[in-house]
Chain A
Amino acid sequence: MDFSGFLMMPSELGLLAIFVFLLAFDILAAETRAMRWFRPVAIALMTVQMVWGFFPAPEGTAFGEMYVSSPLTSMMKSILNIGTLVVMLQAGEWLRRPENSIREGEFYVITLATLLGMYIMVSAGNFMMLYLGIEIASLPVACLAAYNKYKEHSAEAGAKYILMTALSSGIMMFGLSYLYGAMGTMYFSDMNAAVAAEPMTVLGFVFFFSGLGFKISLVPFHSWAPDVYQGAPTATTAYLSVVSKAAAVFALVLVLHHVFGALAVLWHWMLWGLSVLTIVVGNLFAIRQRDIKRFFAYSSISQAGYILLGVLHGSSAGLTATLYFVFVYLFSNLAAFGVIAAVENQSGRTDIASYKGLYKSNPRLALVMMLAVFSLAGIPPLGGFFSKFFIFAAAAQGGDYLFVLIALINTVVSLYYYLRIIRAMFIDAPGADAVSSFRTDPYNSVSLVLCTTGILVVGVVSWFYNFIAQATF
């Protein structure tokens, strides 16, 4: 057997090594004093993995084109790495609580397992490989969602997630079987040559697409998201709303461009309709939410619509804009979830009303939340403004002024509900049961500093945009 293929995948091997090491650590050191070191070690290893990911990886294919590596995939993996690292930093405080401490290691190990699945999603060169990656990335997330298994909400979230995942996987697999039937191959490169607008291919494509749409939480495949986001532990919600979603977006981008380029006319209008629907419905639901995690679920649904807007304009500017949007969205959304996690750990509450007067009690957290929310709403000079700007510019370049108009109107609507949070934090008087002043966990503080820096710097420093543009060309 030829093992040289493994040389093509250093980042996967590195991640696998970390995964195995931490699993062994968790098992061998369980219930001993050595567990104190688990969190620093896990975070240090993940940091190494992230930094390593930025070094140029070998390019090419391995295992008979099952696996593909290019600067683009390396950069996507780096974005996922950053997101995962931030989530791991934010999860620490919650995992240290007495009811979780015995299972602390599990969270990191499972998270890394799903990350490995996402790597495979991004690097797949074959639909079976892609499907495998999606499954590896999905099933363990159900465990994460149900992590607080003695809490009803968490268990419910886990159950809903696994049921819906199973359904979407089934539909996706069904679609894949049609594609295979139509073209007789599962390899991206072969299919790219064979794809044509035949009924069977189109059917297969739509089914496959709805499977990925589920992961990205596009309307109308989004219905699981609010319940799961609300019920799952905050760290899991952050992971689902950012890293998991980003991986699915990346896979979608790659598949659309590498395989279904010939069907562009078809999926252009399909995506057009779905992203308008996603933005509008996400916004309409977000307006009336009272729970902040549920609120961010809908906010992230409507953000997914904007991401899709970049995807559907297949130009390289659109592709760059998409990745850039995801990159900024990662920092903005994770900053928000970092604050949510900190407040929840202190008060046990996630309703928006508990944020009243946060600026008085915890000014720094309130400021981070403000930056995050402004960035999501697209206020200059924060990163979110630039990412939205590039998306709109790509769409306008494609001549799609109608969409830009709709998206702009929705941006105004989104500003309304984002400002509700700002109002609660800065203007409303704190209620009797307001969150008291507290110190944020140092690990979480690091993550918040990282995210805030990202929000402030990524938009203004053009290096990031050029870096992404370089990889996408």
Chain B
Amino acid sequence: MEWLRFNDTLHIDLGILLDPLSVMMLTVVGVVALMVVVFSIGYMKGERGFGRYFGLLGLFVFSMLGLVVATNIFQMYIFWELVGASSYLLIGFYYTRPAAVKASQKAFIVTRFADLGFLIGILILSSYTGTFDFAALTADNAAIAVGPQANWAMALIFMGAAGKSAMFPLHIWLPDAMEGPTPVSALIHAATMVVAGVYLIARMFPVFQFAAPDVLVLITYVGAFTALFAAVIAITQTDIKRVLAFSTISQIAYMMVALGVADVAASTFHLFTHAFFKALLFLGAGAVIHAVHSNEMSRMGGLRKFMPITHITFLIACLSISGIPPFSGFFSKDEILVAAFHHNPVVFGVLLLVAGLTAFYMFRLYFRIFWGAHHYDRPPHEAPPIMTIPLIVLAVLTCVTGFVVPVHIDWAIASAGVVAAVIGIVVAWRFYAKPSDAPARLAARWAGFGQAASHRFYIDEAWLWVTRRIIFGGISRPVAWFDRHIVDGAMNAIGSGTVRVSETIEPVQGGKVQSYAILFVLSVLLITLLVFVLC
């Protein structure tokens, strides 16, 4: 359906695109959204703004589905922004908490900043290809010249994708976005919205491949670096949702690497499996938080006795994300590792290391929540059925989704991945399953590095420095000065000048009817004269 026409060739349509990729995304969004909504009924019970919550959730799901079925890049951009806006509203759901308000603003500003790049990329791309349409852009005969233009356009589009998908250095908003209600984190900041960037690049992959292969290399390295970087940070975090947030960043980076090494199938497969087990992890975390009323690991322990269902499902998700067969994560991770191995051994090594680290920090989380001992003032209790049923459904999906796609398993690489994961799990078990002073000793030895990692390598501070010093101080302040003194000054001069003229001419209207009559007659004569002179 045509919506907006610029000229004969360039127009924006609204439509619905169904192909394997979008159907896969529709399944993911639909299933996870359903589970999250059901879970939320229990989680949000008795909260203020119960209705508002579900309204916003509906808005988000609508926007996300619109994004998925978009037929052209501009329609996708529209829904892309809508997704961002609903994400902003949901992160700031507890708008009375300053931290939530700050986090929502941060998320919005960072993603908007990235979207600016995205929009410029769209404009460049459309101006020299003359179309917005995905089908036309990705057709075999699409005449997209390789050149700096294509590189710039695609790099900027990747910038938009990186913002939404929290790639380094635009990842800073995602950990803070955990201020939103936990089911929201599960839906938006784990399973659906954050993978929109992956989806976008997968959707436009042929363009990247033919017109801008250099950008794919960039994507590979950004992805590999982000995967390692986020995994290291995840080890040091103590807030369970933040651990999950960094694990999300790391896993999405995995998908990005797969795209960079030109294996779209592996990337989308990992997207598919990740959505379920990550949603499961978040909802499980939500159930735990609901039970103990805290996000901090130090306030938890030994929960496996109190919350058996949550415990089992959480364990399944942990095994899956660590890549232990036969859970879904194993299959998709293996695909990515194979693709990376054939492409670039260094990247493969990084990913293998990340696989080990992932297993380590996930089981650190698992052991600290569910094992060990902790004294509770009030014993926590298992979540109600309305919350546990989604957990069970997602756990089942986590077990089976690995088999939906027939994959060829390269056992040599798969076993390397599994060994890395097992090492990570064993280390985590040694460190955290039983009381041990090993973590403390290790932390002491690596104090500087651990400190930096737990402060997320000071990336937030770096951004603040850039925005404060360079943008606010270097650009905004002079502009503001110009605006206040030159622009406003000119405006004020015009305004006061108008008023002064108005004062000056006031006596003309003196109230004497004789003078009015004279004015009238003189005006008629003057007009007559002018008409005769001029015409």
| Chain A residues within CB distance 8 Å of chain B | 159-160, 163-164, 167-168, 171, 197, 199, 202-203, 206-207, 210, 214, 220-221, 223-224, 226-227, 265-266, 269-270, 273-274, 281, 284-285, 287-288, 413, 416
* Contact A287–B519 (Cβ < 8 Å): no
User: Nearest 7 pairs between A and B by C-beta?
Assistant: A220-B523, A223-B516, A284-B502, A287-B502, A210-B524, A206-B528, A160-B513
**Which residue on B lies nearest to A274, using beta carbons?**
B527
Number of inter-chain CB pairs below 8 Å: 79
Instruction: Pull 11 A–B residue pairs with CB atoms less than 8 Å apart, ordered by A.
Output: A163-B513, A164-B520, A167-B517, A202-B532, A202-B535, A210-B523, A227-B509, A285-B505, A287-B498, A288-B503, A413-B498
Min CB gap B111→A, angstroms: 30
**Given A210-B524, A227-B511, are A284 and B531 neighbors across the interface (CB < 8 Å)?**
no
Residue B4 is within 8 A (CB to CB) of chain A in the complex: no
Q: B506's contact among A159, A227, A285, by CB below 8 Å, is which?
A: A285
Q: Does B534 contact A (CB under 8 A)?
A: yes
Q: Which residue of B lies closest to A227 (CB)?
A: B511
**Min CB gap B295→A, angstroms:** 45
Asked whether, in the complex, the Cβ of B499 is within 8 Å of the Cβ of A206, the reply is no
Instruction: Please pick, from A160, A203, A224, A227, the residue contacting B528 in the complex, using a CB distance under 8 A.
Output: A203
Please determine whether B531 and A206 come into contact, CB atoms closer than 8 angstroms.
yes
Neighbouring A residues of B509 by C-beta, 8 Å: 223, 226-227, 285
Residues of B within 8 A of A284 (CB): 498, 501-502, 505
Please give 15 more A-B residue pairs, beta carbons under 8 A apart, in addition to A168-B520, A223-B516, A285-B505: A163-B513, A163-B517, A171-B520, A171-B524, A220-B520, A220-B523, A223-B508, A223-B519, A227-B511, A227-B513, A269-B534, A274-B527, A285-B506, A285-B509, A413-B498
Of chain A, the residue at the smallest CB distance from B504 is A284
B-chain residues with CB within 8 Å of residue A163 when the two chains form the complex:
513, 517
B residues in contact with A265, CB < 8 Å: 535
User: Considering the chains assembled together, what is the distance between the CA atoms of A197 and B515 in angstroms?
Assistant: 32
Residues of the A chain whose Cβ atoms lie less than 8 Å from the Cβ of B498? 284, 287, 413
Report the bound CA distance from A425 to B499 in whole Å: 22
**Complex Cα gap A210–B534 (Å):** 18
Q: What is the predominant secondary structure among interface residues of chain A facing chain B?
A: helix
**A-side contacts of B517, CB under 8 Å:** 163-164, 167
CB–CB B520/A214 < 8 A? yes
- Given A163-B517, A202-B535 in contact, is the A221-B499 Cβ separation under 8 Å? no
Contact with A along B374-402 (1 / 0, CB 8 A): 00000000000000000000000000000
Shortest Cβ gap from A231 to chain B (Å): 10
Residues of B whose CB lies within 8 Å of any CB of A are: 495, 498-499, 501-503, 505-506, 508-509, 511, 513, 515-517, 519-521, 523-524, 527-528, 530-532, 534-535
Whole-angstrom CA separation of A287 from B495 in the bound complex: 11
Q: Compute how far the CA of A227 lies from the CA of B508 in the bound complex, rounded to whole angstroms.
A: 12
B235 CB to nearest chain A CB (Å): 55
Q: Is the CB of B523 within 8 A of A199?
A: no
Q: Which one of B495, B513, B519, B524 contacts A206 once the chains associate, using CB atoms below 8 Å? A: B524
C-alpha gap A284/B494 in the complex (Å): 12
Tell me the complex Cα distance, A163–B513, Å.
Answer: 8
Cα A382 to Cα B116 with chains together (Å)? 33
**How distant is the Cα of A386 from the Cα of B519 in the complex, in angstroms?**
35
> Could you say which residues of chain B place their CB within 8 Å of the CB of A270?
527, 530-531
**Complex interface: chain A residues within 8 A of B508 (CB):** 223
The answer to whether A223 touches B502 (Cβ under 8 A) is: no
Is B516 a contact of A224 with CB atoms below 8 Å?
Answer: yes
Asked, given contacts A226-B509, A284-B502, A288-B506, whether A207 binds B524 with beta carbons under 8 Å apart, the answer is yes
- Min CB distance, B436 to chain A, in Å? 68
In contact, A199 and B532 (Cβ under 8 angstroms)? yes
Which of B495, B503, B528 has the largest count of A CB atoms less than 10 A from its CB?
B528
From A164, A167, A287, contact of B499 by CB (8 A): A287
Q: In the complex, A160 Cα to B515 Cα: how many Å?
A: 11
Residues of A within 8 A of B506 (CB): 285, 288
* Alpha-carbon separation in the docked complex, A61 to B521 (Å): 36
- A265 CB to nearest B CB, Å: 7
Cα A269 to Cα B516 in complex, Å, equals 25
Minimum distance in angstroms from A220 CB to a CB of chain B: 4
Q: State whether A159 touches B527 (Cβ < 8 A).
A: no
Q: How far is the CA of A255 from the CA of B503 in the complex (A)?
A: 37
Q: What separation, in Å, do the CA atoms of A168 and B535 have in the docked complex?
A: 24
Residue in B498, B521, B531 with the greatest tally of chain A CB atoms within 10 Å: B531
